[in-house]
């Protein structure tokens, strides 16, 4: 589809929004669960599409689908609780009113998805938007239109007669750009930081709010007291699964000097048998391979050396075996930019503190991982990242109750979990008078009858307020 199709799809979604938002949460949950069941029944077809379009092996596509289904069912089940109206204290000024915060759906949400997880990434976003009561126009990446279509067709099969609730817009970037201008009530974008900027600029024209899930450049820190075998295993998975084309994949490894030798040996052992085309798939786009090559050549040209692989690892177009570089200065693109390929850059650091400092020194702030026997959630406070896993990698992505997203150049806003439902709603403040006193709180303050006692009471409360001991 192209730009002229976009207003038509948005209009269809707008028309469907009234009925969809009027459903009870229970009814929407039922429809979303039927969708999940239909997706599960269509597993073979969807997995085949994911593999064909992205080049990933069946096992990875299965994992992607099943994690997406977990997100869908969690979100469907919890939307009512998250969106439940909340009574708040009205305060002395408006004591005769009830005060309630009500969450309302936004209307129509435009969802723009990437190619790397063409089922999981959209499902996590669509679930929140639909469960909150919005309808959606979903533009999959031009590299993965068939997977995108499969999601929408399964919705229609599971819920016949639901035209307009989930419209799919298979098309190129130009169609995505048009969707940003089409008057939707929010755009949820997942993709590169560069396109994220264009999306935000286009949405600024109409003050359409955005949630941006952009690229990462995540570090894995191996502390002096880490289980190096576990850390090496996690680094291999985090950096090389799906050929490194994971937004929160490991791109940088900082390993404490005391365990660096043992860790490097363990990592080499882990990666020795790993082959592109066998253990993970090809790079999905030629452009992606060009970025990997460019980062590697630049790093090697500036003193970087290979710990794993070499220029011979580029075996055929799109087929690149694991590459680990060391001795790369922190200002080179391989360190500062998202490579999004089967490349990890390893640096030996003094200790966990230095690892944390370097981890925080890039513009992206999506995820981070720490391996340490003594660290717990406290270490997360020191990391500039939207998500942190301790003694694990990417764990947060598989827990449906946890919000997903980053800060800085990785974007803002959250999908998944409670935040991923609230993201697609807005707060409406409602007051209802329950007692009949003369005048409202504010006007009472100006009427001679109420003024003195009320003013005195309010001032007394403020005068006596102290901070916590």
DSSP string for 29-73:
HHHHHHHHHHHHHTHHHHHHHHHHHH---HHHHHHHHHHHHHHHH
Pull the structure tokens for residue 74. 């969690």
Residues that bind ligand NDP (rule: CB under 6 A) add up to a total of 32
135 vs 410, beta carbon nearer ligand NDP: 410
Q: Among 177, 267, 300, 335, which residue interacts with ligand NDP (rule: CB under 6 A)?
A: 177
Question: Is residue 168 within the footprint of ligand NDP (CB under 6 A)?
Answer: no
Distance between CA atoms of 33 and 237, rounded to whole angstroms? 31
Question: Is residue 184 within the footprint of ligand NDP (CB under 6 A)?
Answer: no
Three-class SS state of 307: strand
Distance between CA atoms of 129 and 317, rounded to whole angstroms? 38
Q: By CB under 6 A, which span of 170-178, 229-237, 342-350, 436-444 interacts with ligand NDP?
A: 170-178
- What character string, x for contact with ligand NDP (CB under 6 A) and - otherwise, covers 322-341? ----------------x-x-
Question: Is residue 280 within the footprint of ligand NDP (CB under 6 A)?
Answer: no
Q: How many residues are there in the chain?
A: 469
Distance between CA atoms of 336 and 346, rounded to whole angstroms? 13
Question: Is residue 173 within the footprint of ligand NDP (CB under 6 A)?
Answer: yes
Q: Which residue has the tokens 């994220």?
A: 196
* Beta carbons of 397 and 71 less than 8 angstroms apart: no
Closest alpha carbon to 253 in 277, 231, 286: 231
131 vs 409, beta carbon nearer ligand NDP: 409
What's the sign of the alpha-carbon dihedral 176, 336, 280, 256?
Answer: negative
In a 10 Å sphere around its CB, with 0-12 CB exposed, 13-18 middle and 19+ buried, how is residue 362 labelled? buried
* Beta carbons of 166 and 155 less than 8 angstroms apart: yes
- What character string, x for contact with ligand NDP (CB under 6 A) and - otherwise, covers 403-432? ---x---x----------------------
Tell me the C-alpha to C-alpha distance, in Å, between residue 227 and each of 281, 311, 349, 371, 424.
29, 31, 17, 7, 41
Question: Is residue 183 within the footprint of ligand NDP (CB under 6 A)?
Answer: no
Distance between CA atoms of 394 and 88, rounded to whole angstroms? 37
Question: Is residue 214 within the footprint of ligand NDP (CB under 6 A)?
Answer: yes
Question: Is residue 3 within the footprint of ligand NDP (CB under 6 A)?
Answer: no
Span 13-52, contacts to ligand NDP by CB under 6 A: none
Q: By CB under 6 A, which span of 4-12, 59-67, 185-193, 347-355 interacts with ligand NDP?
A: 185-193
Distance between CA atoms of 308 and 306, rounded to whole angstroms? 5
Which residues are known catalytic residues? 213, 247
Question: Is residue 102 within the footprint of ligand NDP (CB under 6 A)?
Answer: no
Closest alpha carbon to 192 in 213, 223, 167: 213
Q: By CB under 6 A, which span of 21-29, 113-121, 235-243, 293-301 interacts with ligand NDP?
A: 113-121
Question: Is residue 126 within the footprint of ligand NDP (CB under 6 A)?
Answer: no
Distance between CA atoms of 399 and 382, rounded to whole angstroms? 22
Alpha helices in 185-320 (DSSP H): 193-206, 228-240, 257-271, 286-301
Q: Among 6, 79, 130, 180, which residue interacts with ligand NDP (rule: CB under 6 A)?
A: 180
151 vs 255, beta carbon nearer ligand NDP: 151
Q: By CB under 6 A, which span of 75-83, 212-220, 350-358, 420-428 interacts with ligand NDP?
A: 212-220
29 vs 337, beta carbon nearer ligand NDP: 337
Closest approach, Cβ 74 to ligand NDP, in A, equals: 17
Closest approach, Cβ 331 to ligand NDP, in A, equals: 20
- What character string, x for contact with ligand NDP (CB under 6 A) and - otherwise, covers 128-147? -----------x-xxx----
Question: Is residue 191 within the footprint of ligand NDP (CB under 6 A)?
Answer: yes
Q: Among 54, 73, 116, 208, which residue interacts with ligand NDP (rule: CB under 6 A)?
A: 116
What does the binding site for ligand NDP look like in residue numbers (CB under 6 A)? 112-117, 121, 139, 141-143, 172-173, 176-177, 180, 190-192, 195, 198-199, 213-216, 247, 338, 340, 366, 406, 410
């Amino acid at each position: 589809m192209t730009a002229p199709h976009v207003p038509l799809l948005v209009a269809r979604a707008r028309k469907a929004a009234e009925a969809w938002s009027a459903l009870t949460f229970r009814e929407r949950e039922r429809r979303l669960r039927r969708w999940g069941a239909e997706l599960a029944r269509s597993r073979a077809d969807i997995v085949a599409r994911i593999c064909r379009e992205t080049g990933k092996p069946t096992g990875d596509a299965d994992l992607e689908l099943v994690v997406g289904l977990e997100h869908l069912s969690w979100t469907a089940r919890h939307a009512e609780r998250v969106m439940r109206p909340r009574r708040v204290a009205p305060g002395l000024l408006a004591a005769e009113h009830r005060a309630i915060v009500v969450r309302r759906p936004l209307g129509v949400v435009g969802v723009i998805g990437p190619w790397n997880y063409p089922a999981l990434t959209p499902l996590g976003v669509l679930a929140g938007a639909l469960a909150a009561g919005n309808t959606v126009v979903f533009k999959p990446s031009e590299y993965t239109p068939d997977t995108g279509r499969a999601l929408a067709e399964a919705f229609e099969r599971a819920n016949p007669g639901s035209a307009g609730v989930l419209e799919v817009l298979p098309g190129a970037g130009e169609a995505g750009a048009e969707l940003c201008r089409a008057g939707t009530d929010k755009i949820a974008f997942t993709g590169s930081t560069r396109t994220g900027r264009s999306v935000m600029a286009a949405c600024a024209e109409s003050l359409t709010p955005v949630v941006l899930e952009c690229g990462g450049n995540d570090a894995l820190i191996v502390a002096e007291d880490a289980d190096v075998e576990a850390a090496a295993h996690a680094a291999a998975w985090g950096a090389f699964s799906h050929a490194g084309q994971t937004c929160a994949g490991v791109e940088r490894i900082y390993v404490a000097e005391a365990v660096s030798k043992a860790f490097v040996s363990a990592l080499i052992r882990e990666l020795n048998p790993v082959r592109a085309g066998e253990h993970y798939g090809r790079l999905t786009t030629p452009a992606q391979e060009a970025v990997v090559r460019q980062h590697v050549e630049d790093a090697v040209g500036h003193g970087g050396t290979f710990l794993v692989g070499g220029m011979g690892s580029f075996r055929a177009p799109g087929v690149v075996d694991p590459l680990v570089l060391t001795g790369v200065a922190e200002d080179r693109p391989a360190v500062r930019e998202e490579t999004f390929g089967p490349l990890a850059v390893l640096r030996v650091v003094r200790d966990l503190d230095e690892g944390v400092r370097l981890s925080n020194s890039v513009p992206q702030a999506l995820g981070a991982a720490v391996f340490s026997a003594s660290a717990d959630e406290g270490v997360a406070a020191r990391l500039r990242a939207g998500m942190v896993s301790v003694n694990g990698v990417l764990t947060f992505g598989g827990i449906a109750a946890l919000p997903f997203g980053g800060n800085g150049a990785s974007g803002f806003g959250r999908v998944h979990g409670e935040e991923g439902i609230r993201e697609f709603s807005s707060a409406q403040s409602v007051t209802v008078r329950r007692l009949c006193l003369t005048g409202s709180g504010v006007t009472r303050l100006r009427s001679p009858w109420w003024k003195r006692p009320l003013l005195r009471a309010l001032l007394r409360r403020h005068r006596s307020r102290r901070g916590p001991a």
